[in-house]
Structure 1
Amino acid sequence: MHEKNGFSLNGYLALLLQIGLTLLAIALLNQVTAPFNGYEVLKIVGALILLSLWAGFFMVQPNQAKVMTLFGAYVGSVKTPGLRWTIPLYIRRTISLRIRNFESGKLKVNDNQGNPVEIATIVVWSVSDSFDAMFEVDDYESFVSIQSESALRNLASSYPYDPADEEGIALRSHPQTISESLKNEIQDRLHKAGVTVHEARISHLAYAQEIASAMLQRQQASAIVAARTRIVEGAVGMVEMALEKLREQNVVELDEERKAAMVSNLLVVLCGDKHTQPVINTGSLY
């Protein structure tokens, strides 16, 4: 069973009608005389029934639903805001349909490479089916928090913290992809509770303290290696271009030994960490 519209009337029209019924009930009570017979008792019962209709009025706030039951059976939900009237025997329970935020605490989880990481998430959600939220789970708010953390743990253990290659998906390098995957997984878990997940994003991501220092050194080393690789590739290209220009313009003829020396000197200049000191040769052609 899912949510359905419950019976209710416009409260303002019902209020005008109820005022007239109340005046009728008062008139019936004023006509009651002793000794009581069947007709007099009928007047009293009718007057009490008319007065009890006041219990059918209730107020619905914007983005709110009233879940109604009759003797334990679900009879529908009312979402129309304003003053409403329904059968007084209906028991009405309020449930909020407003958008809410849930922020998990920092969870320590191992990624799919076994590295301990700290991770947390923010989930934006709202109730979309009042019947499922009220009757399919014991406490839908607690259900949201527990299932969201469970989905976050499962997601963190399915991806590495850092990508193994350029095409690999990782927690740190692909935030949009990870957020979409997390949202879908949480939604699959919360669908049975009548909850819609609007957004799920990672709010905290870091290596656990016990390995944070070692992982920082590894990241620094990887960055240095990548930078050096790019510098060497650029330097080789520049040396190749310089030799090609010298050959095309016939500036100077270099034998293989002199080319090797020139390449060595250019690579030292282009790849060195510090500024080089030029040496001017004034004694020979080379």
Structure 2
Amino acid sequence: MKEKDMFKVNGFLGVLLFILLGAAAVIGVRQFTLYENYVLLVLGVLCGLVMFLILTGFTIVQPNQAKVFTLFGRYLGVIKHEGFYLTIPLTVRKTVSLRVINFNSDKLKVNDLEGNPIEIAAVVVYKVVDSAKAVFDVENYKGFVHTQSETGLRHVASQYPYDNMNNDYEISLRQHSDEVGDELTKDLQKRLELAGVEIIEARIMHLAYSSEIASAMLQRQQAKAVLAARKVIVDGAVMMVKSAIDQLKEEGIVELDEEKKAQMVNNLMVAIVSEKGSQPVINTGTIY
């Protein structure tokens, strides 16, 4: 089912026709009363029936709104432009909003790519672009959007890990929210095209580990942060020790053999890397 334009005329022209028919009906009845002219009576009654039919053909379309028309079960067309119109009488009209709609999904419990249970929720921004599909191709387009959004969110969440701890994956849910949101938008657009809906944006609004593994994963993240910090400290300590030994050697301050050099490296590394302040030991030489 696709959109097609509904036959319509300006509503004020319809009002003018309604007034003229009303005047004709009154004149016909009056002439019958005065002269008992049955022809004029029949014309007056017909004008009254036409007035009733015209009255059922008036419709008002609000901005960012569409009306879908059917006549005795047959689809006739759609009016999407705001205004006051006269259309085919006795039609059934269904109003569809063309405004942008925000939908916040419930928090879903799913397994990520690594099998970790996570909680995830998304916000979906969409609008109806084909009102005929929204009315006739699905039972309830808003309910269809809600159901398919949750299905698409589950599918996308299972394709990526929560976090890229070991740099094994290019994309993770926590670190690449924009890329995941774009993928979710594409997935939902394929699912909701049937309902005549356009997905404007889809983004993750809530992401967390499930309560049963949250504490363990927090410890894992803390351990990773500690290891990263220790690596920075060790790399800096190595550079400092190398610089100190090279400077002593270049300026000839002291001659160090391999054993003393190794001892000096050990002492400097312990002093720099240690979390607690080291106590200096002053070498005063040999006392006889």
For 1:192 and 1:123, the matched residues in 2 are separated by 17
Compute the displacement of 1:245 (Å).
Answer: 2.4
1:74 equivalent in structure 2: 75
CA distance in 2, matches of 1:60, 1:133: 17
Deviations 1:201-253 (A, max 9, x none): 11111111111111111111121112212221222122222222222333332
Instruction: Give the aligned partner of residue 137 of structure 2.
Output: 136
Question: 1:246–1:132: structure 2 CA closer, same or farther, 3 Å change rule?
Answer: same
Instruction: Note if 1:155 corresponds to 2:156.
Output: yes
Show the counterpart of 1:113. Answer: 114
Return the TM-score normalized by structure 2. 0.91
Match of 1:25 in 2: 25
The equivalent of 2:4 in structure 1 is: 4
Equivalent-residue separation in structure 2 for 1:19 and 1:238 (angstroms): 99
Question: What displacement does 1:137 show?
Answer: 0.2
Aligned to 2:280: 278
Counterpart CA distance in 2 for 1:242 and 1:259 is 11
Q: 2:176 aligns with which of 167, 174, 179?
A: 174
Q: Is the 8 A contact 1:32 1:43 kept in 2?
A: no
Contact 1:235–1:270 (CA<8 Å) still a contact in 2?
yes
SS class of match (1:32): helix
2:74 maps to amino acid: A
Distance in 2, matches of 1:96 and 1:58, equals 16
State whether residues 101 and 123 of structure 1, in contact with CA within 8 Å, keep that contact through their aligned partners in structure 2. yes
CA distance 1:223–1:30, shift in 2 (3 Å): same
Indicate the percent of aligned positions where both proteins have the same amino acid: 52
Asked if the contact 1:29–1:47 (Cα under 8 Å) also holds between the matched residues in 2, the reply is: no
Q: Secondary structure at the match of 2:56?
A: helix
CA 75–275 in structure 1, closer or farther in 2 if over 3 Å, else same: same
Structure 1 residue ranges without an equivalent (≥5): none
Following the alignment from structure 1 to structure 2, what is the Cα–Cα distance between the partners of residues 136 and 261? 81
Other structure's SS at 2:114 match: coil
Give 1:262's aligned amino acid.
M
Amino acid at match of 2:197: V
* 3-state SS of paired residue (1:159): coil
- The match for 2:188 is 186
Does the CA contact (< 8 Å) of 1:64 and 1:98 recur in 2?
A: yes
1:38, distance to aligned residue in structure 2 (A) = 5.9
3-state SS of paired residue (1:15): helix
1:99 partner amino acid: V
Which consecutive unaligned segments of at least 5 residues does structure 2 have?
Answer: none
Q: Which residue of 2 aligns with 1:41?
A: 42
TM-superposition CA deviations, 1:15-38 (whole Å, max 9, x none):
334333332333233333586856
For 1:82 and 1:250, the matched residues in 2 are separated by 95
Is 2:26–2:44's contact at 8 Å kept on the other side of the alignment?
A: no
Q: Contact 1:121–1:201 at 8 Å: present in 2 too?
A: yes
CA distance in 1, matches of 2:124, 2:36: 69
Residue 31 of structure 2 contacts residue 40 of structure 2 at CA under 8 Å; is this kept in 1? no
Q: Which moved more, 1:253-262 or 1:23-32?
A: 23-32
- For 2:65, the equivalent position in structure 1 comes to 64
The amino acid that maps onto 1:233 is D
Instruction: Choose from 164, 167, 188 the match for 1:165.
Output: 167
Alignment-mate amino acid for residue 179 of structure 1: G
Q: Deviations over 1:53-105 (max 9, x none)?
A: 12221111111101111221211111111222212222211111111111111
Distance 1:240 1:167 in 2: 36
Match of 1:223 among 222, 225, 250: 225
Structure-2 separation of matches of 1:122 and 1:166: 28
- Residue 208 of structure 2 aligns with an amino acid whose one-letter code is A
